[in-house]
DNA sequence: TTCCAGGTGATAA
DNA sequence: TTATCACATGGA
């Protein structure tokens, strides 16, 4: 257990920001994080300090990067002009959100199965895949999701040889064939994330869209959440709705060049919130 | 029960 | 090129 002082960091908002599906509130008030083959618990002390259930070495070599702790989010929020009412509210509402730098394969599979699903349903399906095809990280946890072992996200090769029948019990619906095909492409290196990380975003996006079941939106999510291309801008139903209603269909993307994906996270988190719905209902 | 969800592929015009 | 439609299933 180590204690770290971190500014501009809100666990609840990060867990509910729709970018990851395995970060959950525990009964203790801490948040559990299952990522990169590790299990972590974080507790907000409420005084700007956070308790991490890991070693100093792991914190520095793994979690600092995963939680994007070196990024100055205040600076990014300062790009928003005061005249932009919606985004001004969004960055205040979303204060403390960080962009997680996740494993690209986990992001790929998770967002392929996310299509036409609600976030709770996505989480259920992801956990189902993990418990069936992942490996045990923590043998017998009394925390996590309802106790029992905690599993890693299954690697691509663990899914590549399955049939649609095999994963039929994971609530994937028609997306089962997409997941298996993507697993095969990643396992045999037709898609190589270590290369795509250093490829220009447009070319990387084209490569990702060659995967069956990956279109513009999912490819953008992989670029942003898995490959560190911070200018990627996933446009889902919520973002489209916001752009249509708040920006008359045209969002000034160039203003946020280099950080567009992070701005998108604020838009998403606020755009789907009850706070925003209430504000709109008032007009 | 009905509606909707961090969309995409197939098909038609 | 753009527009329309089907698609599996869980949650609210």
pTM over 0.95: yes
DSSP helix/strand/coil, A38? strand
Residue nearest to nucleotide B6 (CA to C1'): A236
Give chain C positions with protein CB within 7 A: 7-12
Distance A202 CA to B12 C1' (A): 29
Torsion sign across C-alpha atoms A190, A196, A202, A205: positive
Q: Supply A228's token pair.
A: 């560190």
Helix (H), strand (E) counts: chain A: 15, 7
Cβ atoms of A263 and A99 closer than 8 Å: no
User: Please, are residues A129 and A109 in contact by the beta-carbon 8 Å criterion?
Assistant: yes
Q: CA at A232, C1' at B11: how many angstroms apart?
A: 30
Cβ atoms of residues A138 and A144 within 8 Å: yes
- Bases of chain B within 7 A of a CB of the protein: 4-9
The Å distance, CA of A120 to C1' of B5, is 10
A237-256 pLDDT, tens digit each: 999 999 999 999 999 999 99
Q: What is the pLDDT of residues A200-230, one digit of tens each?
A: 999 999 999 999 999 999 999 999 999 999 9
Q: Compute the mean pLDDT over every residue in chain A, rounded to the nearest whole number.
A: 96
Output the distance from A73 CA to B10 C1' rounded to whole Å. Answer: 42
């Amino acid at each position: 257990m180590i204690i770290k002082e971190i500014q501009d960091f809100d666990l609840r908002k990060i867990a509910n920001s729709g970018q990851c599906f395995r970060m959950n509130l525990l009964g203790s008030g801490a948040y559990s994080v299952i990522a990169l083959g590790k299990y972590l618990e974080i507790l907000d002390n409420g005084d700007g300090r956070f308790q991490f259930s890991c070693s100093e070495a792991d914190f520095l070599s793994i979690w600092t990067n995963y939680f994007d702790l070196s990024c100055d989010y205040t600076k990014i929020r300062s790009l928003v002009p005061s005249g932009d009412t919606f985004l001004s509210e969004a960055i205040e509402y979303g204060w403390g959100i960080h962009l997680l730098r996740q494993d690209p394969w986990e992001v790929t599979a998770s967002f392929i199965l996310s299509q036409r699903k609600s976030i709770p349903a996505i989480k259920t399906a992801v956990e189902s895949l993990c418990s069936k095809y992942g490996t045990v990280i923590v043998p017998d946890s009394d925390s996590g999701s309802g106790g029992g072992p905690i599993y890693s996200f299954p690697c691509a090769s663990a899914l590549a040889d399955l049939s649609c029948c095999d994963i039929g019990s994971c609530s994937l619906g028609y997306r089962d064939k997409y997941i298996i095909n993507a697993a095969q492409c990643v396992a045999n290196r037709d898609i190589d994330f270590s290369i795509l990380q250093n490829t220009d975003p447009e070319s990387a996006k084209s490569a990702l869209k060659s995967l069956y079941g990956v279109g513009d939106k999912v490819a953008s999510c992989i670029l942003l959440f898995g490959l560190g291309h911070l200018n990627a801008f996933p446009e889902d139903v919520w973002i489209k709705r916001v752009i249509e209603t708040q920006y008359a269909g045209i969002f000034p993307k160039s203003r946020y060049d280099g950080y567009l994906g992070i701005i998108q996270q604020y838009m998403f988190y606020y755009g789907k919130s009850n706070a925003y719905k209430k504000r709109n209902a008032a007009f």
